[in-house]
């Protein structure tokens, strides 16, 4: 087990800066996720940790040891690649044993360790199969076993589930988490999938254009996004431009141009003094936090009249889109409470955005 410490690392390829001045401390035994859209620098960062790339600037440390330019085979990291990178014509056993052979581990020890790890990933029955005869999910398990068998200090996983179908992805999420907890191994997981990040991680770093936007637990990232990029990338949200008007006790009052009205925000954590009427601000509200009703809602604040423009049934939940003030779309989500509770398209409704559910954030 090991901590991973990145201090102001930058990686440039010609004039492309793939990763820019990244600082990160990953704790021992932590399940840490790099989340962000394609091309934001996740793989490049992982490769600098594995040693496949050396940073242009900055340092990589495992525990307190400087690893910045140590070659990959001397780092004791186990890596799982997006395309698995297995040897298709070798058996499951041979694939998993490969790393031990390179490390000159004795035949009997190799056999024991490979068998142990194959049991852990539930593939011991398939030892003699050729990898090319396995399903995608089974190949994924072989890749995991191969990374784990060398008893790495750090496990690195680069979009390991992206080639699997939705049901299998769900199953493998739980499987990977179970293995990670069992081994207690420091794990860095790369994904562009917010559901994977939220459900699996102890902490998440959100990337955009090579820059880390926010580091936090899944609930911090979801409930307290630091800017509009994070708010929009993780989960669904309605973002509306606002300008600061005034403060009255613990209530902040903003003006929404698009809604043509005031927005009241109650948030004891807001640093009131930092707002200025010229700040470029947006408000973010999650769809599940918004209330809709046919009748007048009792609150005198943050209630807007609108018309249902779209109803989407997803099974467990129902998304209702409401058009307010001609062209502002507000999306709401409710648990499915049965057909009698669905709103019909075209219905006039009231929308209420609770004061303590609105997050005010600067534009990224
Ligand atoms: P992600 O894994 O988040 O999709 P990458 O780390 O692969 O993103 O890439 C980040 C940026 O760096 C992209 O603009 C990509 O084109 C560029 N890049 C990555 N690897 C190389 C390389 N070997 N040579 C040139 N550019 C690269
Ligand atoms: Mg990548």
- Phi, then psi, of 254 in degrees rounded to 5: -120, 165
Best residue for ligand 1 mutational test, from 22, 39, 46, 158 (most atoms within 8 Å of Cβ): 39
Which of the listed residues 9, 10, 13 should we mutate to test ligand 1's pocket, taking the one with most ligand atoms within 8 A of CB? 13
Residue nearest to atom 21 of ligand 1 (CA): 13
Radius of gyration of the chain (CA): 25
Site to probe by mutation for ligand 1, drawn from 33, 44, 156 as the one with most ligand atoms within 8 Å of Cβ, is 44
Ligand in closest contact with the CA of 53: 1
For atom 14 of ligand 1, the residue with the nearest CA is 39
Q: Which residues line ligand 1 (CB under 6 A)?
A: 13, 16, 18, 36, 38-44
Output the pLDDT for position 270.
56
pLDDT of residue 49: 98
Interface confidence, given as ipTM, is: 0.99
Return the ligand 1 atom nearest residue 158 CA: 2
* Ligand whose nearest atom lies closest to the CA of 205: 1
Report the pLDDT value the prediction gives residue 273, as an integer from 0 to 100.
Answer: 54
For residue 223, give both structure tokens.
């409930």
Which CATH class name applies to 228-362?
A: mainly beta
Interval between CA 38 and ligand 1 midpoint (Å): 9
Residue 206 to residues 180, 209, 210, Cα–Cα distance (Å): 21, 10, 10
DSSP 116-174: HHHHHTT-GGGTTSBGGGS-HHHHHHHHHHHHHTT--SEEEEESTTTTS-HHHHHHHHH
Q: Whose CA is nearest to atom 25 of ligand 1?
A: 13
* Minimal-distance CA residue to ligand 1 atom 17: 18
Q: CATH topology of 4-224 equal to that of 228-362?
A: no
Query: Which protein residue's CA is at the shortest distance from atom 11 of ligand 1?
Result: 18
Nearest to 93 by CA among 129, 127, 135: 127
41 C-alpha to ligand 1 centroid (Å): 6
Domain boundaries, the chain: 4-224, 228-362
**How does pLDDT run along the chain (364 residues), one tens digit per residue?**
799 999 999 999 999 999 999 999 999 999 999 999 999 999 999 999 999 999 999 999 999 999 999 999 999 999 999 888 899 889 999 999 998 998 899 999 999 999 999 998 889 999 999 999 998 889 999 999 999 999 999 999 999 998 888 888 888 899 899 999 999 999 999 999 999 999 999 999 999 999 999 999 999 999 999 999 999 999 999 999 999 999 888 889 999 989 999 999 987 665 555 677 778 899 999 999 999 998 767 888 999 999 999 999 999 999 999 999 989 999 999 999 999 999 999 999 999 999 999 999 988 7
* Ligand with the closest atom to the CA of 211: 1
| Residues near ion ligand 2 (Cβ under 5 Å) | 43
Rounded to the nearest angstrom, the distance between the alpha carbon of 43 and the centre of ligand 2 is 4
Mutate to test the pocket of ligand 1, among 11, 18, 20, 50 (most ligand atoms within 8 A of CB): 18
Q: Which CATH number applies to 4-224?
A: 3.40.50.300
At residue 292, φ and ψ (nearest 5 deg) are -125, 150
pLDDT at 163: 83
Q: Which ligand is nearest to the CA of 83?
A: 2
* Cα–Cα distance for residue pair 13/186, rounded to 1 Å: 28
- Residue with token string 């076993």: 145
Distances (CA, A) of 291 to 2, 31, 265, 297: 46, 35, 16, 9
Instruction: Classify burial at 334, counting beta carbons within 10 Å of its beta carbon; exposed 0-12, middle 13-18, buried 19 or more.
Output: middle
């Amino acid at each position: 087990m090991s901590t991973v410490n990145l201090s102001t690392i930058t990686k440039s390829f010609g004039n492309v800066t793939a990763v820019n001045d990244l600082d990160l401390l990953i704790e021992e035994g932590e399940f840490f996720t790099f989340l962000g859209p394609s091309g934001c620098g996740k793989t490049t960062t992982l490769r600098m940790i594995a040693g496949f790339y050396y940073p242009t600037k900055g340092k990589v440390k495992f525990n307190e040891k400087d690893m910045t330019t140590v070659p990959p085979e001397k780092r004791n990291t186990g890596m799982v690649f997006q395309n698995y990178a297995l040897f298709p014509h070798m058996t499951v056993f041979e694939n998993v044993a490969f790393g031990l052979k390179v490390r000159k581990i004795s035949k009997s020890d190799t056999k024991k360790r490979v068998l142990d790890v194959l049991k852990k990933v539930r593939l011991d029955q398939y030892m003699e199969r050729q990898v090319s005869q396995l399903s995608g999910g089974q190949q994924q398990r072989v890749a995991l076993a191969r990374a784990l068998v060398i008893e790495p200090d750090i496990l690195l996983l680069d979009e390991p589930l992206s080639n699997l179908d939705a049901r299998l992805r769900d199953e493998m999420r739980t499987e990977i988490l179970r293995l990670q907890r069992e081994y207690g191994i420091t794990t860095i997981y790369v994904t562009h999938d917010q559901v994977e990040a939220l459900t699996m991680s102890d902490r998440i770093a959100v990337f955009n254009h090579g820059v880390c936007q926010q580091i936090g637990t899944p609930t911090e990232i979801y409930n307290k996004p630091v800017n509009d990029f994070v708010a929009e990338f993780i989960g669904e949200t309605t973002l509306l431009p606002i300008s600061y008007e005034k403060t009255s006790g613990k209530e902040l009052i903003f003006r929404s141009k698009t809604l043509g009205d005031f927005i009241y925000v109650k948030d004891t954590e807001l640093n009131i003094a930092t707002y200025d009427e010229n700040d470029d601000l947006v408000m973010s509200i999650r769809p599940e936090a918004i209330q809709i009703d046919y009748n007048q809602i009792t609150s005198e604040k943050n209630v807007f009249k609108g018309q249902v423009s779209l109803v989407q049934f997803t099974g467990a939940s129902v998304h209702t889109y409401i058009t307010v003030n001609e062209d502002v779309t507000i999306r709401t989500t409710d648990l499915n409470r049965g057909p009698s509770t669905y709103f019909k398209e075209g219905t006039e409704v009231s929308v209420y955005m609770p004061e303590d559910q609105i997050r005010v954030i600067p534009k990224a």
